Amino acid sequence: MRRLDIGDRLLAYLVFAAAVVLVTFFAFQHKLSREWHLPGSPTLYLFGVAGTILLCVSVVFVITKRTGTGGSPLGWFSAHVVTATLGTVLVTIHSGGFLRYAPALLLVALLFLVILGVWARVRLSKDMAATFATRDESFSPPRSEDREQLARLIEEKESLLSRLEPGASEGTFSPMLKHWFLKPGVTLAYARLIGRENKLLGVRSSVSTAQAYWRLVHIVLAFAFVLGMLGHVITVTFFAGYVSGGGEIYWWHLTKW
Amino acid sequence: MGKLALMIDLERCFGCKSCEAACKQEHRLGPGQYRNKVVWLGDASTGAPDFLTLTCQHCERPACLRACPVHPKAITKDPETGVVEVHESLCTGCGECVMACPYSAMGYDAQGHHSVKCDLCPERRERGLDPACAEICPGYAISFGDRENLLEKAHEEGRHLRDHDHFLLKPQTIYLEKIGRENGRANSADGLSLSEKPSRPRFVDSPAASDVFEEKGPAFPYLHDKKTFEADRVVPGGCNFCFNCCSAKFHFQGDKLINVTGNDEDPALNGKICPKAQFTLQLHHNEHRLEYPLKRVGRRGDGEFERISWDQALDEIAAKLEVLREKWGTEALALFVGTRTGLITQKGYVRLFSQMWGTPNLQGTDPFCAAGKVVAYEVTHGINGNGNSYTPEDIGSAGMYLYIGDNQAETRPVYFGKVNDWRIRNKTKMVVVDPRYTATAAKADKWLAIRPGTDMALGLAMAHHILSENMHDARFCDEWVLGWERWRDFIISKGYSPDWAEAVTGIGADDIRALSEDVARADGCVIFGSRGLNQHTNSVQTNRTFMFLAAITGNWGRKGGAYVNMTAGPPIAANAPEERRAEIRKPMVRRSPAGWLSAMREGKPYPVKGLITCNNPLAQWPGQDDARAAFQALDLIVHIELFANETSAYADYVLPAAGGIEKGELGRTNDDRRIVWIDKMIDPPGEAKPDGWIWTELGRRLGFGDVMKEEYKDPGKFWDEMCIDNDFLRGVTQKRLHSVPWRWVRFPVASEDAPEQETLYLEGTTATGQPEGKRFPTPSGRLEFWTEELEEKFAKVGLSALPEFYSEKENLLGLPYLEYEHEDDDLEIISPFSKTPTGSRTARIVQPEEGNIGDALRREGFETTLITGRPPAPHFHSWTHYFWQAQEMWPDLYCEIHPRKAEALGIEDGEKVRVETAHGAIEAMAWVNAGIREDSVYVPIGWGERQPYHPWRSVNFLTDIAQRDPASDQTNLKSLLCRISKA
């Protein structure tokens, strides 16, 4: 089956185009009318809404790849890349360069997420490729104490697995999104065992810190961003008074708390 | 169907990386993408090399599968076969599986952003074939099949399995543990274990080494969808890279070459090939190939050229040759034609051209590689080469293998795979004598780290012990050896005992005695010698010493016993009719092109003003500073080659050559007398032409067209009609070569229906072309150690027919060495060892005195012996440096240095170092490795400063034109004093 991958070159074009749009916008922003300077003006508000929708599309990838719903995970990954980039452009324009308040942190996080993702895809891929055949020490004679520790861990995993997913084989099982929703406690316990096992296997310690943790940082930051974005939407919609700090409330809102 | 698995035998693997090349070829993987990889490891304390073929373990509890965050998983495990597979269409490229695999066996495609891994070649399995790696492995180290059956086979052979299940993942790939060794290496109950902290050459893994591939992807077919390229025809032929000369099969879709594999129908090589043969793909699809004739427009050496037509190039060259002939005479043209061009070019087309033009100065690479052993064979045995074959009944039946100065595992890996397999099957003892712990030594029962340049002393001491103890084969000596008693008396009178040799060679006297006794008592011992013996100023005498050793122990003219010094050159000799040959009025300046430099620079003994050259003399010839100065002095340089290299930059005209299956040619000479034919299968790139076409066209322009006929551009016709009219080759016709699917015939065969002979010179047989009953092709019909005629010949160059010990003048101990009584600027001495009149030099053996060159150099800090030689199996001289994958495997020029010496000099593994001799200096990457004598360093040949991926100055900036064997003109390339420092 043909892979629906975005190559490095296309990704570079996409990011370059996004950067050109943003640089052009901010270079000529001073020539535009006032509504292009205020994040809550009808025009920039719409940019914000559109950007948010695109970023939400980007988040769909996270769900589809973990649930097996919605078709090709790779197709969704490509959508993730494109919508995240476009969403970032729109949200940045939405900011209007208004960076003195807390939402600016969201913008910084978003830009960092994009940069991290692109860097991982383009640069870190080479490190991933270079990981092959680096752990030759794994072929030397094993230490019995490590194996005993692992054996106990596997036993614990098997015991938990009978509660988490009866009938599943420990050797090929890993928790999915549904397990987190249906049995969060057991899943968390199981995930901890996986973490301990990974430590014994040297999963992250065998590679560079960047390679080991970039994805974790990407996920945690994205999660934080989504929460922050929700907070921003709620506050400007329901707590417009608080957001305006006693000033003019010029954006669409529901309450002035 | 049971669970499938690979079984990798660590005892058989010698690190050639052929499986790696086969995997990339099969799966069209590009630079940096791996499904398997052969890792070179070494015991940090002893330097013993270990090789680990690292590939997917197809674990029962696959950590990669569990780490995959995609649902359904992009990695699955087949419940029936146990194969763990990655589904690239589902993989999002997050890299979690790459980190999760504790064996680091999950590859990653950095361009396509997805994981790649070994899936045991499902398409091949569907066709009933083994995975590509298992099929091709020259070492018979990789087996494939039902895991239970493999385990049973291992058990039957009494082999131990390596337990590498650190992580309770239940890895299914089987590793057979190495068999125990000597040399103080730990033998556990389960056999030899890898060192806990193995050393691994850092420069090979350096990210900078692979960065060079990023700009452009590799040429077709790598990174192309293999499913769109199914072969529609397969043509048998051969590989022409090295002296193993393997048969091969070339797979085509239409006119496009899409795969190169071994020839599974070949009864001798069994479909095994090394990486180089597979790199033929990268030779024929290569952006660096020369495609058009070029004419120099800049200064010589600058490499500035304009494209011209063939007619213009050949017309102008012919016109300039006419001027050269008019002004300086025909002898002023020298021809250097290396082995890359093929035997038919060397001994056919160019030989004809030289006869008709009238120059004696025609040479190939022999004086740099093998001239010493050729002379030694000729004077001892009558003709060059041994008479044995790599068959189970002959070399396979030996009771012992002794390698001296021969790293066969890396220089002729397919032959070594066979020998190593026989060693294991028959429990045959193997000993390796080499200053380095080579890949060959890694398989031996014992490694003896000899001091460079002292092999003759070892041979003499072994003979001394054998003869003193009456362990020699008295009947063979009496009946078949002339002058052996005189030699016995000589070495005993000289006191060449093991105790004497201990101080000279650095090998313990007891070890020498034990080795001698092993050789004498073995029911057949094959003594392998090669460049380690050849590339010295004592080349002929050292080779003779070991020939004598083989002879006195009865290891000559028998199955399972021999002295094998590489190739047995077939007597190919195209000759122009006597009346059409130009008169040659002067002798050849010197046998070695290194001896031509005085004629080029100073016109002495007579001017050489023009050079038509193939290959890459400006990386390959010793004394590069001298060589380049000499090239600057020439009126005309024509370079015929595949790739633009250092020599091209100095040429007036560069002519693009065709190679291998682009032209139709003979494979190289090889160890067991196989004449391998390679058909023309595809057109060369651009306007490149076969060497034969170029020489014929040039000849036609000079009026040689009646002999160098148009029809002879067809190499098959030229072969049949011009090259094989003698008792050795008359039967090796095109018809016979094409009558067998492996395309080779073992000579001698005097007629088309004459049977091939497995072993020559057996008792009761007659040597080819000799009167009935004459067993050996010497004048006496016996092996000749000493005769009056021989003594006279050797005396002419200042030596004796009885080999007396001497080493190189640049030595660390103050050993006897040669002083020359002539330079290269006269013709006072005509070599008694050359078939045509050739200038030579007289030398004399001198005992070291205070203030001699070695002493002076040592006082200046040149306290290390430099050894040069072949790099590992994926490389061969210059041309493999234009193939991305050979460069990926072994990227940089390196300097192998012992850890204690490195520490003393403050050098760390992977750092850049400067290596300096009295003749020049270069830089290289340090490979700190205990597998070399502490007093020596090793720098390989083949790198050049104009190569596309990893350019480095050639090691021949460090070598010397003057240090040559007076008998064979062979250059010393193995023992020069040097000093090392951080660059």
B26 and B33 in contact (C-beta within 8 Å)? no
**Residues of chain B positioned with their CB less than 8 A from the CB of A170:** 61
User: Which candidate, B104, B68, B110, places its Cα nearest to that of B85?
Assistant: B68
| Close Cβ partners of A231 (under 8 Å, ≥ 6 residues apart) | none
Cα–Cα distance measured from residue B578 to residue B983, given in angstroms and rounded to the nearest whole number? 58
Q: Distance, in angstroms, between B15 CA and closest chain A CA?
A: 14
SS (H, E, C) B698-765: HHHHCCCCCCCCHHHHCHHHHHHHHHCCCCCCCCCCHHHHCCCCCCEEECCCCCCCCCCCCCCCCCCC
Is residue B535 very low, low, confident or very high in pLDDT (cuts 50, 70, 90)? very high
**pLDDT > 60? residue B184:** no
Cα–Cα distance measured from residue B171 to residue B980, given in angstroms and rounded to the nearest whole number? 45
Alpha-carbon distances, residue B20 vs A192, B8, B113, B742, B889 (angstroms): 38, 13, 21, 24, 9
SS (H, E, C) B833-850: CCCCCEEECCEEEECCCC
Lowest-confidence segment of A111-115, B44-48, B902-906 by average pLDDT: B44-48
Q: What is the pLDDT of residues B651-710, one digit of tens each?
A: 999 999 999 999 999 999 999 999 999 999 999 999 999 999 999 999 999 999 999 999
Residues β-bridged to residue B6: B144
Mark yes or no for CB contact B200/A136 under 8 Å: yes
Mean pLDDT of chain A: 93
Count of C-beta atoms within a 10 Å radius of residue A46: 13
DSSP states along B448-492: E-PPTT-HHHHHHHHHHHHHHTT-S-HHHHHHHEESHHHHHHHHH
- CATH number for the B859-982 domain, one of 3.30.70.330, 2.40.40.20, 3.40.50.1100, 3.20.20.70? 2.40.40.20
Highest mean pLDDT among B190-204, B432-446, B840-854: B432-446
- Residue B189 has a pLDDT of 36
**pLDDT > 50? residue B182:** no
B695 and B345 in contact (C-beta within 8 Å)? yes
Mark yes or no for CB contact B32/A126 under 8 Å: yes
Domain B294-365+573-730: CATH class, spelled out? alpha beta
**Residues of chain A positioned with their CB less than 8 A from the CB of B39:** 133, 136
**pLDDT > 90? residue B228:** no
Start-to-end CA distance of chain A, whole Å, equals: 54
**Residues of chain B positioned with their CB less than 8 A from the CB of A141:** 162-164, 188, 190, 193-194
Mark yes or no for CB contact A136/B41 under 8 Å: yes
Mark yes or no for CB contact B95/A215 under 8 Å: yes
- Residue B12 has a pLDDT of 97
Q: What is the pLDDT of residues B333-361, one digit of tens each?
A: 999 999 999 999 999 999 999 999 999 99
**pLDDT > 50? residue B78:** yes
Q: Distance, in angstroms, between A184 CA and closest chain B CA?
A: 17
Mark yes or no for CB contact A203/B102 under 8 Å: yes
Facing B72 at nearest CB: one of A5, A68, A131: A68
What's the sign of the alpha-carbon dihedral B483, B485, B491, B493? negative
**pLDDT > 90? residue B136:** yes
Mutate to test the interface with A, among B13, B40, B66, B173 (most CBs of A within 10 A): B66
Is residue B541 very low, low, confident or very high in pLDDT (cuts 50, 70, 90)? very high
- Residue A34 has a pLDDT of 92
Domain B386-566: CATH class, spelled out? alpha beta
Mark yes or no for CB contact B90/A77 under 8 Å: no
Mark yes or no for CB contact B210/A130 under 8 Å: yes
DSSP states along B420-436: HHHHHHHT-EEEEE-SB
**pLDDT > 60? residue B192:** no
Facing B166 at nearest CB: one of A146, A173, A211: A146
**Residues of chain B positioned with their CB less than 8 A from the CB of A139:** 52, 54, 103, 162, 164, 175, 194
Cα–Cα distance measured from residue B954 to residue A169, given in angstroms and rounded to the nearest whole number? 58
Lowest-confidence segment of A4-18, B397-411, B945-959 by average pLDDT: A4-18
Percent of chain B clearing pLDDT 90 (strictly above)? 92
- Residue B70's Cα: distance from chain center in Å? 49
Say which DSSP state B347 is in: I
Mutate to test the interface with B, among A128, A196, A219 (most CBs of B within 10 A): A128
Mark yes or no for CB contact A206/B88 under 8 Å: no
- Residue B198 has a pLDDT of 64
Mark yes or no for CB contact A128/B98 under 8 Å: yes
**pLDDT > 80? residue B837:** yes
Say which residue the tokens 């050049």 belong to: B944
Q: Distance, in angstroms, between B35 CA and closest chain A CA?
A: 8
Is residue B183 very low, low, confident or very high in pLDDT (cuts 50, 70, 90)? very low
Is residue B186 very low, low, confident or very high in pLDDT (cuts 50, 70, 90)? very low
B715 and B663 in contact (C-beta within 8 Å)? yes
- Residue A2 has a pLDDT of 62
User: What ipTM was estimated for this complex?
Assistant: 0.95
Mean pLDDT across B161-189: 76
**pLDDT > 90? residue B214:** no
Q: Strand, helix or coil at B349?
A: helix
Mark yes or no for CB contact A130/B207 under 8 Å: yes
Mark yes or no for CB contact B89/A132 under 8 Å: no
Query: Cα angle vertex B135, ends B131, B137, to 5°?
Result: 115
Mark yes or no for CB contact A140/B89 under 8 Å: no
Element (H, E) at B613: strand B610-614
Is residue B185 very low, low, confident or very high in pLDDT (cuts 50, 70, 90)? very low
Is residue B108 very low, low, confident or very high in pLDDT (cuts 50, 70, 90)? very high
Locate the chain B residue with the closest alpha carbon to A155: B168
- Residue A225 has a pLDDT of 96
- Residue B601 has a pLDDT of 97
Locate the chain B residue with the closest alpha carbon to A143: B166
Percent of chain B clearing pLDDT 70 (strictly above)? 98
- Residue B399's Cα: distance from chain center in Å? 26
Structure tokens, B409:
């595992």
**pLDDT > 50? residue B727:** yes
Is residue B222 very low, low, confident or very high in pLDDT (cuts 50, 70, 90)? very high
Cα–Cα distance measured from residue A94 to residue A104, given in angstroms and rounded to the nearest whole number? 11
Identify the burial level of B443 via C-beta atoms within 10 angstroms of its C-beta, where 0-12 means exposed, 13-18 middle and 19 or more buried.
buried
**pLDDT > 60? residue A236:** yes
Mutate to test the interface with B, among A139, A198, A203 (most CBs of B within 10 A): A139
Facing B110 at nearest CB: one of A77, A125, A133: A125
**pLDDT > 80? residue B208:** no
- Residue B853 has a pLDDT of 86
**pLDDT > 60? residue B955:** yes
Structure tokens, B352:
């004809």
Q: Distance, in angstroms, between B868 CA and closest chain A CA?
A: 29
Mutate to test the interface with A, among B166, B174, B223 (most CBs of A within 10 A): B166
Mark yes or no for CB contact A203/B111 under 8 Å: no
> Which amino acid makes up residue B919?
H
**Residues of chain B positioned with their CB less than 8 A from the CB of A142:** 163-166
Q: Strand, helix or coil at A89?
A: helix
Mean pLDDT across B397-419: 98
Cα–Cα distance measured from residue B673 to residue B661, given in angstroms and rounded to the nearest whole number? 21
- Residue B190 has a pLDDT of 35
User: Which candidate, B205, B201, B40, B410, places its Cα nearest to that of B902?
Assistant: B201
Query: Residue B236: phi, psi to the nearest 5?
Result: -75, 145
- Give me the total of CB pairs closer than 8 Å, taking one residue from chain A and one from chain B: 183
Count of C-beta atoms within a 10 Å radius of residue B20: 26
| Close Cβ partners of B867 (under 8 Å, ≥ 6 residues apart) | B435, B436, B452, B936, B937, B938, B939, B974, B975
**Residues of chain A positioned with their CB less than 8 A from the CB of B204:** none
- Residue A238 has a pLDDT of 96
**Residues of chain B positioned with their CB less than 8 A from the CB of A73:** 70, 74, 90, 92
Domain ranges of chain B: 4-200, 294-365+573-730, 386-566, 859-982
Alpha-carbon distances, residue B12 vs A170, B488, B598, B665, B849 (angstroms): 36, 39, 49, 33, 48
**Residues of chain A positioned with their CB less than 8 A from the CB of B176:** none
Q: What is the pLDDT of residues B456-477, one digit of tens each?
A: 999 999 999 999 999 999 999 9
Facing A125 at nearest CB: one of B66, B103, B108: B108
Query: Residue B343: phi, psi to the nearest 5?
Result: -65, -35
Q: What is the pLDDT of residues B604-621, one digit of tens each?
A: 999 999 999 999 999 999
Q: What is the pLDDT of residues A42-99, one digit of tens each?
A: 999 999 999 999 999 999 999 999 998 888 899 999 999 999 999 999 999 999 988 8
Mark yes or no for CB contact A174/B66 under 8 Å: yes
Mark yes or no for CB contact B54/A133 under 8 Å: yes
Q: Which CATH topology does B4-200 take?
A: Alpha-Beta Plaits (3.30.70)
User: Which candidate, B756, B689, B676, B777, places its Cα nearest to that of B719?
Assistant: B676
Mark yes or no for CB contact B167/A121 under 8 Å: no
Q: What is the pLDDT of residues A133-175, one digit of tens each?
A: 999 989 887 888 889 999 999 999 999 999 999 999 999 999 9
Mean pLDDT across A206-218: 96
User: Which candidate, B892, B865, B876, places its Cα nearest to that of B958?
Assistant: B865
Over the Cα atoms of chain A, what is R_g?
A: 23
**Residues of chain A positioned with their CB less than 8 A from the CB of B54:** 132-133, 136, 139
**pLDDT > 50? residue B791:** yes
